[in-house]
Structure 1
Amino acid sequence: MVSLLVAVIITAIIFDYINGFHDAANAIATVVSTGVLHVRTAVILAGILNFVGAVTGTAVAKTIASGFADPAIVTQTVVLAALLGACAWNLITWWYGIPSSSSHALIGGLAGAVVAKAGLAAFKWAALYSKVLVPLVVSPTLGFIAAFILMMGLVWAVRKMRPATVHKSSRTMTLVSACALAFAHGSNDAQKSMGIITLALLAFVHQGHGGVPAWALPKGDGVPMWVILACAAAIGLGTMAGGQKIIKTMGTKIIRLNTLQGFAAQTAGALTILGASHLGVPVSTTHCINACIMGVGASKRVSAVRWGVAGNILTAWVLTIPLSALMAFITMLAIDKLF
């Protein structure tokens, strides 16, 4: 069983790495598309700040570890199936350049695997509603509104300034806000893999298996330090690997942003995500920043947003949880035949 636990941990770290390059665009799409930084410099900076943000708290990790399923009924194979289902969906959407949610893919995968193993009653559907589906609507809505209001305020504030002065100042502001967004991204997204590894460790303990040193196991509902550091490093390195297809979608296909618009979108996104991290809510950073970009575009004029592209993204938002759940469900049935 120790070897299976190790396989689960490795898969979770791989998922975290994939999360990094899949969601790299969250933090750097606008700073790259506006020409403030070259893509290579931007991803390195974002990766470092992802790591820093990831080690600042564990509230979201604790939600993942115990909020959706009782660790006493979760097995290593359930966690493995959840991760494989989520990874499969992430890779499919990354290949087609669709900025879907890694967070919701993981939660959908967990739902599908738990149901396949123990039935519908084993999953905490009320928690899915309150901690995922409600924030799925609320967090992008708040981001859209915040970006819209901030952009309107900025336009009013700089209305008498020379365009060259505005452009120079907003380049620096865009860089600062990109750093804040990368920090926020790490503070929320890396904790999901921390939570899934902690869930696997708790399941290992509940099932009475031995062979793992005490320092490596959770104490109470805490997340072991080695888990925090491993997941923080994985998402940071994944972000450094890039994700240029999704960067192009978010930075130019929804709306072509200037530096002032980039600052407004990133600032609104960072504030929304940091608020969710503080409350322990596993929101989609992808959804938040996409909504903020749309809010900035709508502040100029509604037609400035390419709503056809936005509609495709919204479709991916809706499909992520059920399709990742289906993939994990099928994977769980297949794994059950092997173990």
Structure 2
Amino acid sequence: MSLEAVVLIVVAGLFAVVSGVNDGGALLATGLKLPTVRPATGIITLVVLVAVVPLVTNQVALTFVTRLASFDEPGGQIAMLLAVIASLVVVTVLSAKGRPTSLTLAVVGGLTGAGLGWGLEVSPGAVAQVLAFGLAAPFAGGLLAWVVIRLLVSVTTARGLRRWHWVGFLVQTFAYAANDGQKMLAVFMIAAGFSGAPPAYTVAAAVLFGLGTLYGLPKAGRTLSREIIVSRPLHGVAAELSAGTAVLACAAAGMPVSMTQAIAGGLIGAGVAQGGGRVRWYAAVKIVAAWLLTLPASALLGWTLALVLKGFEDVEFS
């Protein structure tokens, strides 16, 4: 195994932990005000599904690896490594400044920029298609939540809401494992040179993801369930059902989208359905601004890192 592959595998492990910090807490945060799914039970469920679902379908991981740019070409491992580094740097900086953002957006930007900088073949059409789905996901989550919360009010009771919480949590978690969570598998694919989903790698990614989730849950819970909206259990359940449905639909098309964006959209849609005053629009605008900054910043950093490193290689071998 080459040095580049070893380094990329190590970075892939770190990336899985950061994915747990950034995404896992958000998946559990919406239901924190309901005791139905305990945090420990939720984390175990997340880990199991993130490990198992890619064994059934890994189309979104293949989109990251094959449709955005030709990472199977010479230099693809290095470009992927630089893309992951760029995405981690951007997400870390924005989070430190109190602007939580989408790691999936950062990865798409990093892959595009690093691919261009390294001279790989990048597909503008595929990049545009992924961005279109990514833009649509939070709006779809919001619109669905606007409908779902009205239906829940009319058909369920407080006890029934707990059952709907379990349904929403499972739908949302399955959707994450079938879509957003597969960015972790994509990095391992390039690092180790496989195209399927070997159980050893899916389990390793899932366990590291679970550790990150355990660490990141408190902060993510404050951001989504307190900052965006004055959240009630009903809002969380509606957001889970809506975000999970929207992300599953995108997974069926093989398009990676951000679960955290879909959840945020779902919370806003549920809040608007019961009066826009429940939504903290300042916090929502701040998060959207971070999303808009994430992709170009990651693309620029990935492109710059690729140009610099490729320049050093060209000088060394000239």
Supply the AA of the counterpart residue of 2:225.
G
Task: Report which stretch shifted further, 237-246 or 318-327.
Answer: 237-246
Match of 1:204 in 2: none
How far 1:22 sits from its partner (Å)?
0.9
Gaps of at least 5 residues in structure 2 are: 314-318
Match of 2:128 in 1: 129
Contact 2:134 2:256 in 1 (8 A): no
Deviations 1:250-279 (A, max 9, x none): 011111222222211101111111222222
Counting matched residue pairs gives: 312
Match of 2:59 in 1: 59
Q: TM-score, normalised by structure 2?
A: 0.88
Give the RMSD, CA atoms, in angstroms: 2.4
Supply the AA of the counterpart residue of 2:257.
V
Deviations 1:153-185 (A, max 9, x none): 222335xxxxxxx22331342244223322322
Q: TM-score, normalised by structure 1?
A: 0.83
Match of 2:116 in 1: 115
Contact 2:47 2:206 in 1 (8 A): no
Out of 207, 228, 239, the residue aligned to residue 233 of structure 1 is: 207
Match of 1:206 in 2: none
Distance 1:301 1:250 in 2: 18
Q: Does 1:301 align with 2:299?
A: no
Out of 168, 175, 198, the residue aligned to residue 189 of structure 2 is: 198
Out of 291, 308, 311, the residue aligned to residue 317 of structure 1 is: 291
Contact 2:133 2:257 in 1 (8 A): yes
Deviations 1:30-63 (A, max 9, x none): 2114555565554444444443444442110111
Q: What percentage of residue pairs aligned between the two structures are identical?
A: 28
Q: Does 1:153 align with 2:165?
A: no
Match of 2:101 in 1: 100
Deviations 1:273-319 (A, max 9, x none): 12222221111111111101111001001222111111111111111
Contact 2:91 2:100 in 1 (8 A): no
How far 1:149 sits from its partner (Å)?
0.6
1:62-77 aligned at under 5 Å gives the runs 62-70=62-70, 71-72=72-73, 74-77=75-78
Match of 1:15 in 2: 15
Contact 2:64 2:186 in 1 (8 A): yes
Match of 1:213 in 2: none
Distance 1:223 1:336, change over 3 A: same
Q: Does 1:173 align with 2:150?
A: no
Match of 1:254 in 2: 228
Distance 1:174 1:96, change over 3 A: farther
Contact 1:147 1:264 in 2 (8 A): yes
Supply the AA of the counterpart residue of 2:68.
F
